[in-house]
Amino acid sequence: MMHWSFVALLLTILTSSQGILTTLSQTNGKYLYDYATVPFLAEVFKLLVSGVFLWREYKTSPSTTKMTTEWKSVRLFPIPSIIYLIHNNVQFATLTYVDTSTYQIMGNLKIVTTGILFRLFLKRKLSNLQWMAIVLLAVGTTTSQVKGCGEASCDSLFSAPIQGYMLGILSACLSALAGVYTEFLMKKNNDSLYWQNVQLYTFGSIFNMARLIMDDFRGGFEKGPWWQRLFIGYSITTWMVVLNLGSTGLLVSWLMKYADNIVKVYATSMAMLLTTLLSVYLFSFNPTLQLFLGIIICMMSLHMYFAPPNKLVDLPETVKAAPESLKEISVERQTDS
């Protein structure tokens, strides 16, 4: 079994490549392929990989490969897809009220809403310091996105209508809910990870296909049915975007089962900063002070959240010196009462 921090690091690297690969897959700043087909193919890729792994696991040891096939359990697996579908529509509605950069800034709210739903739904306790770390992570990612001096478009963040902000908050809640619900699904029993994945991605593929079909109807089949658009304009880079998106999905799934949502949130936030940092070199953007500050804040937050408490604060000397004796006391106390 891999350590979760290794998986989180891999997720950070792959997620940060995602933005760069997507940019590289454009030709003269335009997509020659239909971008909506990418998530669909990524779902199919994840489904195939999970299917193969499940088959191998089952072949090796049929007795230990746990699979709950009752409808009562299976029917829960489309729920994350349904939440994402609602989320996409809320996102669309939000963008009619606010500009994309304000929407991007508000997106950082999902770090905080994930913490709240993590506490409320999964009943996981966080120390005050961990709460502060989560708020700082959101503040840090926001800081890195503050529009710099001399940037072309200069929309004010505080001038959108109130509906825009309400929808932004709803969007952050839905995004967090999908994550927290997936974690609940993955941890509710000790079914094989691959069996759980197969269920998740079967529904994921169906919902993504439904979206492509809806796009066809909305567009009046002008570009032909979706299956004809599927590989048109695909380059090697486009396929790398698909494989990368699929791989990050599989890593997130693993983290939901063996680690948790907060680990995922840290990995994706760090990836966002890494993408911005890499863009400075790859696309010769100007490094901004706010990027630099954002990175420091997020690093502090990471350390605050994950470092063991005794590395952060000075505990009373006796506590550190006599851990064995401490256990004895608590036993004594229990027998006394």
Q: Which residues bind its own copies (CB under 8 A)?
A: 105, 125, 127-129, 132, 135-136, 139, 142-143, 146-151, 154, 156-158, 286-287, 289-290, 293, 296-297, 300, 303-304, 307, 309, 311-319, 321-322, 325-327, 329-330, 333
Quick one: angle between helices 162-187 and 193-218, nearest 10?
150
Locate 281 and state its tokens.
């070199």
Q: What is the amino acid identity at position 255?
A: L
Query: Which residues are bridge partners to 30 per DSSP?
Result: 27
d(CA 110, CA 328): 44
Least Å distance between CB 206 and its own copies?
Answer: 40
Identify the three-state secondary structure at position 164. Answer: helix
- Of the pair 143, 196, the CB lying nearest its own copies is at 143
* Cβ-based nearer residue to its own copies, 220 or 308: 308
Which residue's CB is nearer to its own copies, number 142 or number 247?
Answer: 142
Q: In the complex, what is the shortest distance from the CB of residue 318 to its own copies, in angstroms, rounded to a whole number?
A: 4
CA distance 184 to 257: 9
Reported as half-sphere exposure (CB side, CA atoms, 13 A), residue 166 has a value of: 3
Which residue number, 207 or 305, has a Cβ lying nearer to its own copies?
305
Q: How far is the CB of 171 from its own copies (least distance, A)?
A: 18
Shortest distance in whole angstroms from residue 40 CB to its own copies: 36
Please provide residue 98's backbone torsions phi and psi, each rounded to the nearest 5 degrees: -120, 155
Cβ-based neighbours of 333, under 8 Å, separated by 6 or more = none
Shorter beta-carbon distance to its own copies: residue 236 or 313: 313
H/E segment holding residue 245: helix 236-258
Cβ-in-10-Å burial (0-12, 13-18, 19+) of 337 comes to exposed
| Residue with smaller CB distance to its own copies, 42 or 112 | 112
We find the least distance from the C-beta atom of residue 159 to its own copies, in angstroms, to be: 10
CB of 150 to its own copies, least distance (A): 4
